[in-house]
Amino acid sequence: MIDIKLIRENADFVKENIKKKFQDEKLSLVDEVFNLDKEYRESKFRADNLRSEKNKLSDSIGILMRDKKIDEANEVKTRVSEIQSEINFLEEKESLLEKEIREKMLIIPNIIDESVPLGKDDSENVEIERFGEAKVPDYEIPYHADICDMFNGLDKDSSGRTSGNGFYYLMGDIARLHSAMISYARDFMIQKGFVYCIPPFMIRSDVVSGVMSFAEMDAMMYKIEGEDLFLIGTSEHSMIGKFKGQMVKEEELPITLTSYSPCFRKEVGAHGLEERGLYRVHQFEKQEMVVICKPEESMDWYNKMWKFSVEFFRSLNIPVRTLECCSGDLADLKVKSCDIEAWSPRQKKYFEVGSCSTLGDAQARRLGIRYKNEKGSVYPHTLNNTVLATPRGLIAFLENNYNEDGSISIPLALRPYMGDKEIILKK
């Protein structure tokens, strides 16, 4: 959510930002908010003046009563009662206007960074840099589900019976690899100075609306029937929600956290679920990094965070590249974002394994997270980045560490989590 002062003082700038995101249907919201805010401030100004008048008149009643001017005192009491009625009406009006303004403000997209390339959708994202050599071996790399089958590691028939499409059983060495990657990701971030956290896996609606847009919520979140609770789609949601309504101490900034959670997503849309494999599923696990910092530090943290992800994947022999997300591909709360994509030697192309984003002060405004400095109360900036989301990360690992004889090499960094094995052999 942007600062309403932007609409009061530079509505055209806000409209231009909406156009850059190719959301022209939202342009009218700016004028609507401007007019509602004007009406709200006029109402508030009138109510404040009436309160001042009421206080003065109330003070005079005692003097009139003391001087035995009963009739005049009663007239003043009547006027005070009339003023109070109008104040009550104005307060109710302010409350309704405030609610309407907030609802519209939540839909207006955040101001994107000036460095973000313009584009309508993810097809216009811009490659930034590649890390590691994207090799295609002279032997065939099987489809990842087939690799898992070689190790008796994937059972989607049983999960179809228990849960339906979009779920899976991981078994044996494949399940162990999955867990080893998560454990390694946890320790990798702890060594970077981040505090490890396991958050709640369900959050209330006021937290959901504080961390994401309504469109994202409808497309992603599972709601618990009969309760004000949603299953999280990423631990960033509950991690940022941890500070809802809090005044953070300035000396505690930056707050750097790394969190583990299972994640649940509807995966509604054109992509659909993957029938046989693990690329797009309803349930996965994730190691996340979250930073809450001073506004002037957020871009430095953004660049540190995506580099951590690159370093993590390279330590597992996985070539990656970074893509700058264009304006039309940015979610409404994001200021700037880049995707980390892993190389698929089977498909001979890259695919997304993570995303790093800075959201400016949008989430802090929505959730009422602040800190105080010498200038007063300030909204901090929030950032998030995927360390590892798996089984998608597992797919990248299997393809890039698959050997011609069907075995899987275990990189040095992962061996402590795999019983010091250097290789696993197919069944």
CATH of the domain at 15: 1.10.287.40
Given 70, 105, 140, which residue is the final one in a domain?
105
Residue 295: pLDDT above 90?
Answer: yes
Q: List helix spans (H) across 67-200.
A: 70-105, 144-150, 156-162, 172-191
Helix (H), strand (E) counts: the chain: 13, 18
- Is residue 111 in a domain? no
**Sign of the C-alpha dihedral computed for residues 273, 383, 185 and 312 taken in this order:** positive
- Is residue 73 in a domain? yes
- The whole-angstrom separation of Cα 379 and Cα 119 is 29
- How far does the chain reach from its first CA to its final CA, in angstroms? 53
DSSP-derived secondary structure for 280-296: S-SEEEEEEEEEEE-GG
Residues 19, 147 within the same domain: no
Beta-strand pair 255-264/126-131: unpaired
Residues 184, 256 within the same domain: yes
Residues 148, 258 within the same domain: yes
- Is residue 110 in a domain? no
Q: What would the pLDDT profile of 308-323 be if each residue is shown by its tens digit?
A: 999 999 999 999 999 9
- The whole-angstrom separation of Cα 372 and Cα 22 is 36
Residues 383, 236 within the same domain: yes
Residues 259, 182 within the same domain: yes
Q: How many CB atoms lie within 10 A of CB 284?
A: 22
- The whole-angstrom separation of Cα 45 and Cα 48 is 5
Residues 89, 149 within the same domain: no
> Which domain covers residue 37, as residue numbers?
4-105
- Is residue 318 in a domain? yes
Q: What would the pLDDT profile of 198-242 be if each residue is shown by its tens digit?
A: 999 999 999 998 998 777 777 788 999 999 999 999 999 999 999
Residues 159, 63 within the same domain: no
- Is residue 116 in a domain? no
Task: Name 390's bridge partners.
Answer: 285
- Is residue 400 in a domain? yes
**Sign of the C-alpha dihedral computed for residues 396, 402, 408 and 411 taken in this order:** negative
Mean residue pLDDT across the chain = 93
Q: What would the pLDDT profile of 159-178 be if each residue is shown by its tens digit?
A: 999 998 889 999 999 999 99
Total domain count, the chain:
2
Q: What is the pLDDT of residue 266?
A: 87
Residues 132, 59 within the same domain: no
Residues 97, 151 within the same domain: no
Instruction: Say if residue 200 is preceded by a cis peptide, omega within 30 of 0.
Output: no
Q: What are phi and psi of 86, to 5 degrees?
A: -70, -40
User: Residue 274: which pLDDT band, with cuts at 50, 70 and 90?
Assistant: low
- Is residue 114 in a domain? no
Give residue 134's Cα distance to chain centre.
Answer: 30
* Least confident segment among 28-42, 43-57, 71-85, 130-144: 71-85
Task: Name 323's bridge partners.
Answer: 127, 339
Q: What is the pLDDT of residue 272?
A: 53
- The whole-angstrom separation of Cα 30 and Cα 9 is 12
Q: What amino acid occupies position 97?
A: L
Residues 151, 84 within the same domain: no
Q: What is the pLDDT of residue 64?
A: 81
Residues 272, 303 within the same domain: yes
Residue 269: pLDDT above 80?
Answer: no
User: Residue 273: which pLDDT band, with cuts at 50, 70 and 90?
Assistant: low
Q: What is the pLDDT of residue 90?
A: 95
Q: What are the distances in angstroms from CA 69 to CA 57, 62, 342?
A: 14, 10, 86
Share of the chain above pLDDT 90, in %: 84
- Is residue 156 in a domain? yes
* Least confident segment among 125-139, 211-225, 279-293: 211-225
User: Residue 270: which pLDDT band, with cuts at 50, 70 and 90?
Assistant: very low
DSSP-derived secondary structure for 72-98: HHHHHHHHHHHHHHHHHHHHHHHHHHH
E strand intervals along 218-367:
222-223, 230-231, 247-248, 255-264, 283-293, 320-324, 336-344, 349-358
Residues 50, 146 within the same domain: no
CATH of the domain at 161: 3.30.930.10
Given 105, 140, 165, which residue is the final one in a domain?
105
Q: Are 232 and 201 in contact (CB under 8 A)?
A: yes
Given 52, 75, 105, which residue is the final one in a domain?
105
